[in-house]
Amino acid sequence: MAYKVDFLYPLIFLIILQQSHGLDIIEDLLKLNKGKIKDLCFDIVFALDRSCSVAEEDLDRSISFMTQMIKEIDIGAHKVQVGLVVFDDGARILIDVGQYNEKSRLLEAIDTANYTYNGCKTATWTALNLVRTSKKLLNNNEIDQQTKKPRQKILVVITDGVPFDTKHNMGKMLKITEKEAVKNHEAGITTIVVCIRNSDGEYVEDSDATIFDKLASKPLEGHKFYIDNLEVDAKKVFPTLARFTCDYRCSKPIDIVFILDCSMNADGYTHKALDFIVSLLKSFPINPERFARVGVVTFNDHATVEFGLTKHTTFEDIKNAIENIRGVHKKNRDTAYAFKTARQSVFYANEARNRVASRVNVLATSERAWPKGYRQHNMRKVLGQARYNELYEINTIIIGLPPYEPNIDTQQQILDEWQKLVTNKDTNNIFDMKSSRATFEDLEVVKNYIAKQMCDLVGLE
């Protein structure tokens, strides 16, 4: 359904996903950065192998490995809670999950814990069972009081060898360990295995190391690591932990219109983009009077209003409507017309709210803003719409969707073009998915960050 409304004054904000301008937000959020504390939410247990084959210097490195990661995250009842277990002939708890909710006290407890080993066996099976079944560890069934959802559970096993009891029952103990690992996976425990060298400087032989594949969560890349230097290589493991970001909720009145590119080059990505939109909207309580209203426009060489701001008033209704969108893929894209349609046929074709709400356009595209006339690239109309938006204090979010653009010249052209549409040129608000080898899964990692930026930067009190 088409509407014609000439007057406008929306506030729209722009995020461009970019790397070539010197800022890769995904990489920045995932890596260990001193002084850049990550907003993560999970319960984690570190299980340290203390059998006699582990050299004392490797114990010190294991402690440093843990503390490096802990220093980069918020510790607290609603953030990250940490537990610590050691295993040798048996397994024992050194720190309960959530026992210390102040980072300084937690780090002190890790530094002063009793790591004395009790024998030369490697009772990995006992450690796996203990972590899963003890209410002091990951059998707490804790519900996050903010999200009302079960907290994510993570186990990091640091070991130099395969499970071992005696040389006569190795096969039996391997099977028992595998069964414990399966039970942990079924209990929703994400398991990361960190393999280190033994006191002879050797890794476990490949023929024996298949047990680590059973212990680690899938995919193995990101959940199983061979590490030479624990003090240095914590950065290899941290990206897996950094994906468990805290949920974010925007409690401000905001009108959001998603503008989805359905041109031919975006074919095959539309359903993933729609899934991401649904996921992103979980951060915005849907309430026509107090919080968020949502509309969707799809475009190629034309623009279609899928639904306006007042059509659906609950998250489930919006989710169902988005899932039923069938974007028509055509070769060309007319971003200028899409901007104009969103402004005139969505924002101002809908009744005003009792409370003034900021208005946000989210342009999800994978290419340049080509207008009609595929062979002649002309930005004049797009820039005209962008300037018209600026006249009325409009900003725009651009999510540059995957896939990766290997041609550096093309990549730079796309980014330069998008940059011209930016109202707020603060590089902290600029991302890029096309200029790196990021995926839609990586986009999920930063969705809470994007939601917070949308909510924070609209200038509401």
Residue 419: pLDDT band (50, 70, 90) is confident
Q: Residue 114: what pLDDT?
A: 93
Condensed to tens digits (0 to 9), the pLDDT of residues 266-312 reads 556 788 889 989 999 999 999 988 899 999 999 988 899 999 999 99
Residue 103: pLDDT band (50, 70, 90) is very high
**What is the arithmetic mean of pLDDT over 23-32?**
62
Residue 199 has pLDDT above 90, yes or no: no
Residue 9 has pLDDT above 80, yes or no: no
Q: Residue 170: what pLDDT?
A: 85
Residue 425: pLDDT band (50, 70, 90) is low
Q: Where in the chain is the domain with CATH 3.40.50.410?
A: 41-241, 247-456
Residue 46: pLDDT band (50, 70, 90) is very high
% pLDDT > 70, the chain? 79
Q: Residue 454: what pLDDT?
A: 83
Q: Residue 95: what pLDDT?
A: 97
Residue 21: pLDDT band (50, 70, 90) is very low
**Claim: this prediction has a pTM higher than 0.85:** no
Q: Residue 237: what pLDDT?
A: 86
**What is the arithmetic mean of pLDDT over 335-357?**
82
Residue 457: pLDDT band (50, 70, 90) is low
Q: Residue 17: what pLDDT?
A: 36
Q: What are phi and psi of 392, to 5 degrees?
A: -110, 30
Condensed to tens digits (0 to 9), the pLDDT of residues 315-328 reads 999 999 999 998 77
Residue 82 in contact with residue 95, Cβ under 8 Å?
A: yes
Give the chain's mean pLDDT: 81
Q: Residue 146: what pLDDT?
A: 62
Residue 415 has pLDDT above 80, yes or no: no
Q: Residue 300: what pLDDT?
A: 87
Domain 247-456 fold: Rossmann fold (3.40.50)
**What is the arithmetic mean of pLDDT over 206-226?**
86
Residue 79 has pLDDT above 70, yes or no: yes
Residue 1 has pLDDT above 50, yes or no: no
Q: Residue 20: what pLDDT?
A: 33
Q: Residue 311: what pLDDT?
A: 93
Which one has a higher pLDDT value, 343 or 441?
343
Residue 19: pLDDT band (50, 70, 90) is very low
Which one has a higher pLDDT value, 337 or 232?
337
**What is the arithmetic mean of pLDDT over 424-449?**
66
Please give the class, per CATH, of domain 41-241: alpha beta
Which one has a higher pLDDT value, 102 or 6?
102
